[in-house]
């Protein structure tokens, strides 16, 4: 099962969410905050308009902390920012820098403190990071209880994760210029709706997990990426993902 989504901030400009929804996008992570004071000026407007067009909305906070106290302060700023906004997808700690040169143990302590604060506030907590940063700067074992969203701009992810951000040069109708594209392998919407745990464990598959119409929209996006690619490994991966979508919709595979 794969579900297509994007992540958006003020850098993406004005978004036509009706067109985005029609293109097959199912979820969006919106930048909400950064550090202890910054708020993305487009967050609330984008959230309202995405929700109005049937897109699941999550939010992310770009972290700058270097210790537990700073992480807790940033978590409270994030929670204040999203307060009053309907959140229907995970709240995310975006941790991709360590400019304060914290040790692996201290930075992991800080990340856990942030994620715990999100959970205690009643939200579904997730951590986002680059593949290399996660594997070298953090103690991954201590982050196992939390859902994982990984960035790796390659033809394959090369590790386990609930969501893969596979490019920052995606094209989606309704958004000018490039946009980050993501594939979710876990139905987080279903977990949230059913009050599931934060562990990224997919629900048991049913005979038909997706409507044919929705599947065809996703397949068209994957086919466009297949057509644009010159890398055979990437073409193979797009074909595999398209077959997963077909199976989820009760259709037959065509690439194997």
Task: Read off the pLDDT of residues 4-27 as tens digits, 9 standing for 90 and up.
Answer: 999 999 999 999 999 999 999 999
Q: Is 43 exposed, middle or buried (0-12, 13-18, 19+ CB in 10 A)?
A: buried
Give the residue numbers annotated as catalytic, written as ranges: 96
What percentage of the chain carries pLDDT values higher than 90?
74
Does the structure show a pLDDT above 70 at 207?
no
In angstroms, the CA 120 to CA 7 distance is 24
Q: Which pLDDT does position 233 carry in this prediction?
A: 77
Q: SS3 for 130?
A: strand
Q: Check: CB of residue 31 under 8 Å from CB of residue 41.
A: no
Contacts of 223 (CB under 8 A, 6+ apart): 238, 242
Q: Which pLDDT does position 194 carry in this prediction?
A: 86
Q: Which pLDDT does position 241 carry in this prediction?
A: 81
Residue ranges covered by each domain of the chain: 3-193, 204-256
Number of C-beta neighbours around residue 192 at 10 A? 17
Domain 3-193 in this protein, CATH class: alpha beta
Radius of gyration of the chain (CA): 18
Q: Which of 55-64, 135-144, 204-213, 228-237 has the lowest mean pLDDT?
A: 204-213
Q: Which pLDDT does position 201 carry in this prediction?
A: 37
Q: pTM higher than 0.85, yes or no?
A: no
Backbone phi, then psi, for 11, in 5-degree steps? -65, -20
Q: Read off the pLDDT of each residue in 54-77 and give the average, rounded to a whole number.
A: 98
Average predicted confidence (pLDDT) for the chain: 90
In angstroms, the CA 145 to CA 162 distance is 12
Does the structure show a pLDDT above 50 at 49?
yes
Indicate the pLDDT class of residue 199, thresholds 50, 70 and 90.
very low
């Amino acid at each position: 099962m794969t579900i297509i989504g994007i992540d958006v901030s003020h850098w993406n400009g004005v978004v036509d969410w009706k067109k985005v929804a029609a293109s097959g996008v199912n979820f969006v992570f919106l930048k909400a905050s950064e550090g202890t004071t910054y708020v993305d000026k487009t967050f609330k407007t984008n959230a309202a308009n995405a929700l109005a067009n049937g897109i699941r909305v999550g939010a992310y906070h770009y972290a700058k902390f270097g210790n537990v106290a700073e992480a807790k302060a940033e978590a409270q700023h994030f929670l204040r920012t999203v307060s009053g906004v309907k959140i229907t997808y995970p709240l995310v700690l975006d941790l991709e820098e360590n400019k304060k040169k914290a040790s692996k143990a201290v930075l992991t302590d800080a990340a856990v403190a942030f994620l715990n604060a999100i959970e205690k506030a009643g939200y579904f907590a997730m951590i986002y990071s680059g593949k290399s940063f996660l594997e070298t700067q953090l103690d991954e074992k201590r982050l196992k209880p939390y859902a994982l969203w990984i960035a790796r701009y390659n033809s394959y992810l090369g590790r386990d994760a609930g969501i893969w951000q596979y490019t920052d040069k995606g094209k989606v109708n309704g958004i000018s210029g490039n946009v980050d594209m993501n594939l979710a392998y876990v139905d987080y919407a279903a977990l949230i709706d059913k009050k599931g745990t934060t562990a990224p464990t997919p629900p048991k598959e049913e005979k038909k997990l997706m409507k044919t119409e929705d599947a065809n929209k996703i397949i068209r996006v994957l086919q466009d990426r297949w057509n644009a690619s010159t890398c055979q490994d990437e073409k193979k991966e797009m074909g595999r993902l398209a077959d997963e979508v077909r199976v989820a919709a009760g259709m037959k595979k065509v690439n194997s």
